[in-house]
Structure 1
Amino acid sequence: MIQQACYSRSTKDRIVSSINTPAPMKNPLAKKLKPIKEVQTIRGVQLPIGLEFRQLVITGPPGAGKTYYINQIRGWPNEGYIDLSRKGWWRDQTLIYRPREINLGIPYRGRKEVLTVFDQEWRESPPGSLQIDYQRIRIPPQSHSLLRTNWRDRYIFEFIIPEPEVVYERRRSRQKEGYFPVDANLTLAEVTRQIQTYCDIALYLHRAGVHVCIRHDISEPPMLISEKGDVSLPPWAVADAKPRPNLKTLTGWKQLLLGQSPIPWFSVTDKIQELTGPSRIPHDGKSLDILIGAFHLRLSPEIPMGTSKDYLRFNRNWIVKKPGSCSEVNIRGFARICPGDTVIIGRSNKDYDDLFSFTREVAKRQLSVSNLKGDLLVKPLSDQQRISVVRIEDLDSREQMDASRVMAMRQVRSLLGGKIADLDRTSALSLILEVNEILATESYRPLDGYDLPGGLVELPDEPTPVIIGDLHAQTDNLLKILTENCLFQALKRNNAILCILGDAVHSENIEEMERMDSSILIMDLIFSLKRRFPANVFYLRGNHDDFNPELSKNGVAQGLLLKMELERQRGHAYVEAMQTFYHRLPYMIVSPSFIATHAGPPRAGTTREQIIQIRLNRQTGEELTKNRLKRPHYLSGYGKADIKTLRQAFQASKSTPIIVGHTPLDPFGSVWQNVGGIKNHHIICSSHQNGPACFTRINGKMVPLTYSAEPLTKLINKLKHRP
């Protein structure tokens, strides 16, 4: 049975103490934990099958049972301490001796010194007053070099996080037996806050690529944090993924020194060959097909255009998709397998099943595919159906480019007059005035009391929706989405609708926050798209779509800076036109497939009519652009009940996805699904420097797609013009 939380809601409901009952908190690990199925028993404790004993670092809140656990497995007896904000903490002498119990020093906003959850200053702070400063947390570096230590793989952090009432009763009992200062004046609310903090840290480290597992009790198997279904499994959680080298053989020394696996190499040819056991397929730049009965999947090396050799050396990703090319009527789903990832291909992998619609002949766990520094390790897991491999085409991925993509790049360039660059003053003013006229009679928007398009866009079930989150002046990310997967051609044929959830302006990169050129360029591109596809491109208002002087990031008044730069480059008339554009924007998109807004649902609830009459409901507009998910440090945010109320307002089913931007949960990803433990509540950000993300409908379901970064502004402008 899958554990759904660090602590269960039903347990909290049984707590009746009026003094000690904690305020409800959003559990960051809700529905994200899955038991590790392949385990080994070491001194009576179940541990992951691929884990090396000395990789283990034990941590958790006071009273979790860390000391007992260490004694049971005969680890290092003395507890240690690491300051997560200190540079190079992974080299600390504390971590030399393992397995070992470790307490964590956590950085908080506005406080120079880190705190542990049992420090008096931490215990006396009011609930919600301490906000973890994630930007100060240092992450161990990852290295693929023989001469450098791969600190990321050296440790596996096991968080012991029992249910709050268990820890509370345990600490009360031990306080009766002796003096434990950390247990003095203890309340259940304090225990719950401590557990919440360790859940937050565990999730953050997991997203940063640190090896993390969770355990409620040492009598139970450990669990993985899994935010993408059964898509990404670390090698240490899969049997035989990292076999130990035999140093009595030449093969063993090669495995140790060169990282070579003893699993036999498999040469893919144009002849169909059956896989009868684990096989290693080299990264040679060419695609291959995996055949499971009559079902086919294509695996292709991902080699982004314009990237350096160093990037390709350490980012040998593979793209998984169905064979065939995209078309203007077929936006395709795909997945990515990055170095170090292991994926299970089969019907039990819900994310892959949503993308590829596995037939019944594919087993629930048909095969595993691991990316070992670019090479593929393919391992059959079921004999239900034979697995074969074949090479359909012998072209290197670097030697080919889909003609449809080249055509899309040229057509996108033509939107701005033949070059991806700022428009001249006259052309820019003409363009924005045309867009404002389109907004005055925009399609799919019911009229408000002023006979103007209201704040709601009601889309039909067709064409296929493509949803883009906050772009924050990353023009290349927008170009990537437009030119991939035949999206631009689909827009031309009225087979796709592009929905941008606001905040296309104001870069969030520290060195670019005061520069507005990229903001101006990306809005020129969006305006050009709106003029070209008036009924197929929609832009929602975000909190950054404003000239408000109080709109700032890291002390930079970006709203005012953009206004000043537009006035300098394009004049007062353009600034007034931009202000009109902001006032005419919608705030929410509703369709049979999804509901989307920039920030989230209003706390006080809403109705369809209130969204349409947004000009009369300023508070609703504020919440739709500025609201955030309720968290321990943001108790005024929206929660599960507000999501439910929003669906009810539009008579949408429980399965209808609510998709928002505005609040990226960490700097490592672009998409976060079922956020806050709320099913079908997703956050998307499309401004990541490693590439954008979008949601689209594949096989009747809204699924996320993530793309690699490419310097497309430069590459598109270098394309030769056709005679």
Structure 2
Amino acid sequence: MDHDEESSNGTLPASQELEKALEAVLAAAGTIPSSIRPRAPKGSYPGGLIQLPSDKPCVLVPDVHARPDFVESLLLSVFPGIEGTLDAALGKGLATLVFLGDIPHAEGELAARRWNRAYERIVREHDAHAILCPEMDEEMGLSLAALLEVIDLQCRYPSSVFCLKGNHDNMTNAADHGDLPFYKYADEGRMGALWLEMRYGEKIARLMRRYELSLPVVACSKNFCASHAEPAFPLDKERVISFREHSEVVQALIWTANDEAKPGSVAKSLEALLDSMEKAQHSVWFSGHRPVRDNFAIRANGQLVQIHNPDLWHIVFLSGNAKQADFYAVQRSGGEAAHVCSLILDPERRRK
């Protein structure tokens, strides 16, 4: 199969474009200063922890799930206290942007319909090549479009834009390094992996896996931490930084379901990563992964703030040295973001 010819169909990126982007983002990860992304002692690779500057505004983006238009509109958005668009602010080093993972694989009724129709094709035709169908091309085309947007930002602003690893950031459906095969509507993990290899070939699949394994797992600032999922057990800074040697840490930060974490995991993890019990008591941990009905959900004695509502284009805006989290709705095609609500970060103050 000529992968360049097969994938240049107007909706999917050409193999050369995808390969170039993946190689570029892997190289960009190595340019992040160790003051921002400490290197693991063993192997000296970029570690799993991002230390965000507390004096700059930070935007937290919950699960993207194949919504490239959400990412595009976010970059063109304007927020209070930042001159110009978010993209311009990132270019000037005046803000940071953190994606909480799960960039590929759409959610919702349309996505379910695409996956199920593609699955039915495979079963009906008894041929693996049936995976190269319009439904899968549409679904995976959206995933790759969103991924390439995030990768472009990581390459342009490697010290200001970070993408944490989620459980869906596993397009080869691997079962190692903390990842687990998955399904939701049909058999998405296996189907997506088969489509990727048949459409683009083994080299792209290997590069994709290298990229996914390079993603950090926690971002920390002065009074908050963030990861894709709630910490399943108490974490320590050394194992987070050396995440490639600790698959259990990765799994604990990308797969935890509600009520699955050990009691006290958030509080103890905050204490370890913020280097202070006092700071931890007045701080919160943001996560995506598990859907919420409204703007956010509070768990773990007020210290876990879940922010993933798949029906909304909401982000969390934290100004420099923030005392509160401001939730904004991103408008289609950008412009002034609409303030939705605010949340006091300090759980102790919220209880009074």
TM-score range (shorter-chain normalised) is 0.7 to 0.9
In 1, the alpha carbon distance for the partners of 2:31 and 2:167 equals 23
The structural deviation recorded for 1:711 is: 7.0
The structural deviation recorded for 1:638 is: 4.1
TM-aligned CA distance change 1:459 to 1:507, over 3 Å: same
TM-aligned CA distance change 1:475 to 1:702, over 3 Å: farther
Deviations 1:491-538 (A, max 9, x none): 111111110011011111232242211101100111111111111110
Matched, 1:649 2:248: no
Instruction: Give the root-mean-square deviation of aligned CA atoms.
Output: 2.2
TM-aligned CA distance change 1:518 to 1:702, over 3 Å: farther
Matched, 1:620 2:241: no
The structural deviation recorded for 1:676 is: 2.6
Give the letter for the 1:693 counterpart: H
Q: Do the aligned partners of 1:593 and 1:702 also contact (CA within 8 Å) in 2?
A: no
In 1, the alpha carbon distance for the partners of 2:324 and 2:191 equals 37
The structural deviation recorded for 1:643 is: 1.6
Q: How does 1:459-608 map to 2 (within 5 A)?
A: 459-485=52-78, 486-513=85-112, 514=115, 515-546=139-170, 547-548=172-173, 550-554=181-185, 556-603=186-233, 605-608=234-237
The structural deviation recorded for 1:424 is: 2.3
Q: Do the aligned partners of 1:693 and 1:704 also contact (CA within 8 Å) in 2?
A: no
In 2, the alpha carbon distance for the partners of 1:483 and 1:504 equals 19
Deviations 1:38-58 (A, max 9, x none): xxxxxxxxxxxxxxxxxxxxx
2:281 counterpart SS class: coil
Give the letter for the 2:169 counterpart: D
Q: Which residue of 2 aligns with 1:694?
A: 315
Q: Which residue of 2 aligns with 1:439?
A: 29
Q: Do the aligned partners of 1:657 and 1:702 also contact (CA within 8 Å) in 2?
A: no
Give the letter for the 1:678 counterpart: N
Give the letter for the 1:483 counterpart: L
Q: Do the aligned partners of 1:465 and 1:697 also contact (CA within 8 Å) in 2?
A: yes
In 2, the alpha carbon distance for the partners of 1:677 and 1:600 equals 9
Matched, 1:706 2:328: yes
Deviations 1:439-458 (A, max 9, x none): 24433211111111111111
Q: How does 1:58-207 map to 2 (within 5 A)?
A: none
Matched, 1:423 2:48: no
In 2, the alpha carbon distance for the partners of 1:693 and 1:472 equals 13
The structural deviation recorded for 1:584 is: 1.0
In 2, the alpha carbon distance for the partners of 1:680 and 1:702 equals 13
The structural deviation recorded for 1:649 is: 0.7
Deviations 1:621-670 (A, max 9, x none): 1111111231xxxxx3344x11211121122332222100101133xx3x
TM-score between both structures, scaled by the size of structure 2:
0.73
Give the letter for the 1:492 counterpart: G
Q: Which residue of 1 aligns with 2:136?
A: none
In 2, the alpha carbon distance for the partners of 1:430 and 1:571 equals 14
1:663 counterpart SS class: coil
Give the letter for the 1:474 counterpart: R
Deviations 1:97-149 (A, max 9, x none): xxxxxxxxxxxxxxxxxxxxxxxxxxxxxxxxxxxxxxxxxxxxxxxxxxxxx
The structural deviation recorded for 1:709 is: 5.5
Q: Which residue of 2 aligns with 1:456?
A: 49
Deviations 1:419-441 (A, max 9, x none): x9643221221111010112244
In 2, the alpha carbon distance for the partners of 1:429 and 1:602 equals 34
Deviations 1:44-88 (A, max 9, x none): xxxxxxxxxxxxxxxxxxxxxxxxxxxxxxxxxxxxxxxxxxxxx
In 2, the alpha carbon distance for the partners of 1:610 and 1:478 equals 31
Between the two proteins, the alignment pairs up a number of residues equal to: 279
**Bigger RCO (CA 8 Å, 6+ sep):** 2
Q: Which residue of 2 aligns with 1:611?
A: 240
The structural deviation recorded for 1:708 is: 5.3
Q: Which has the higher helix share?
A: 2
Q: How does 1:20-419 map to 2 (within 5 A)?
A: none
Give the letter for the 2:256 counterpart: N
The structural deviation recorded for 1:463 is: 2.4
Rg larger for: 1
In 1, the alpha carbon distance for the partners of 2:75 and 2:104 equals 18
Q: Which residue of 1 aligns with 2:119?
A: none
1:705 counterpart SS class: strand
TM-score between both structures, scaled by the size of structure 1:
0.37
Q: Which residue of 2 aligns with 1:385?
A: none
Q: Do the aligned partners of 1:464 and 1:697 also contact (CA within 8 Å) in 2?
A: yes
Q: Which residue of 1 aligns with 2:132?
A: none
Deviations 1:549-568 (A, max 9, x none): 731113x2222222233333
The structural deviation recorded for 1:461 is: 1.2
Q: Which residue of 1 aligns with 2:129?
A: none
2:147 counterpart SS class: helix
The structural deviation recorded for 1:609 is: 0.5
1:499 counterpart SS class: strand
In 2, the alpha carbon distance for the partners of 1:687 and 1:522 equals 15
Q: Do the aligned partners of 1:629 and 1:638 also contact (CA within 8 Å) in 2?
A: no
In 2, the alpha carbon distance for the partners of 1:611 and 1:599 equals 14
In 2, the alpha carbon distance for the partners of 1:649 and 1:659 equals 16
5+ residue gaps, structure 1, are 1-419, 631-635, 713-723
Q: Do the aligned partners of 2:52 and 2:219 also contact (CA within 8 Å) in 1?
A: yes
TM-aligned CA distance change 1:505 to 1:490, over 3 Å: same
Deviations 1:455-498 (A, max 9, x none): 11112213211100111111222222211112111111111111
In 2, the alpha carbon distance for the partners of 1:678 and 1:523 equals 34
In 1, the alpha carbon distance for the partners of 2:239 and 2:204 equals 31
